[in-house]
Amino acid sequence: MENELKLASGAMVALGVATAALVVMPYVEVRDVKPAPQLKPYTSAEQRGRNVYVANGCVYCHTQQPRDRNLGPDADRGWGRASVPADYAYDKPHLLGSMRTGPDLLNIGARQPSRDWHLGHLYQPRAYVPGSIMPSYPYLFQVKDAAEAKQEGDQPITLPPGYGPMVGQVVVPTPEALDLVKYLQSLDRTYPVLPPEPKS
């Protein structure tokens, strides 16, 4: 009986220490963090685009957490300054990611602001980056008859020569593709980090 008691209390202590270190302390550390004024909440289109990002598993290949200079060459790669907790004030769920098959995207909106580039790259990454191993997302687009698209007032995307559909056809982005690109364009944490508030 004595041993069982020791086992149970040992387990409770281990659980208590783990909860304090992994839940309570991080919460206390970030609960008062204020977002910089330049960081805006996502618009509804950007939020929908964020859901498309989640649904398509972009997070499996892309992180959103540039590291400090001492930990890696992220800044030299043009991915931006090291991120701070306040940069994620509006991110729910966060999309930090842990795999970097592709580049970090926390500042892709600043690095690549072009809507046309993003749409074309999602339709066919290899049209823009030869040998890219990023999957293409053809189901975020519709291949239509050029005349029909014109009649319906669609705005087809422009693709580099050789990557477009057959003559007489055009590629039209779906609302999901347009929202996703709005989300990507919104990713910009290049503003300076706020100094910590003085402790009173």
Chain contacts with ligand HEC (rule: CB under 6 A): 53, 56-58, 60-62, 101-103, 105, 108, 111-112, 125, 129, 132-135, 137, 180, 184
DSSP symbol at 174: -
- The residue at minimum Cβ distance from ligand HEC is 102
- Report, in Å, the least distance between residue 72 CB and ligand HEC: 16
DSSP symbol at 97: -
Cβ proximity to ligand HEC, 123 vs 137, nearer residue = 137
Cβ proximity to ligand HEC, 35 vs 67, nearer residue = 67
- Report, in Å, the least distance between residue 142 CB and ligand HEC: 17
- Report, in Å, the least distance between residue 105 CB and ligand HEC: 6
Greatest pairwise CA separation for the chain in angstroms: 84
- Report, in Å, the least distance between residue 195 CB and ligand HEC: 29
Label residue 126 exposed, middle or buried (CB < 10 Å: 0-12, 13-18, 19+). middle
Cβ proximity to ligand HEC, 35 vs 117, nearer residue = 117
**What is the C-alpha to C-alpha distance for residues 114 and 158, in angstroms, rounded to an integer?**
12
63: left (phi over 0), alpha (psi -120 to 50) or beta: beta
- Dihedral Cα 91, 96, 97, 102, nearest 10 deg: 100
Cβ proximity to ligand HEC, 53 vs 88, nearer residue = 53
Cβ proximity to ligand HEC, 79 vs 88, nearer residue = 79
Residue with tokens 């220490």: 17
71 forms bridges with which residues in the sheet? none
- Report, in Å, the least distance between residue 5 CB and ligand HEC: 51
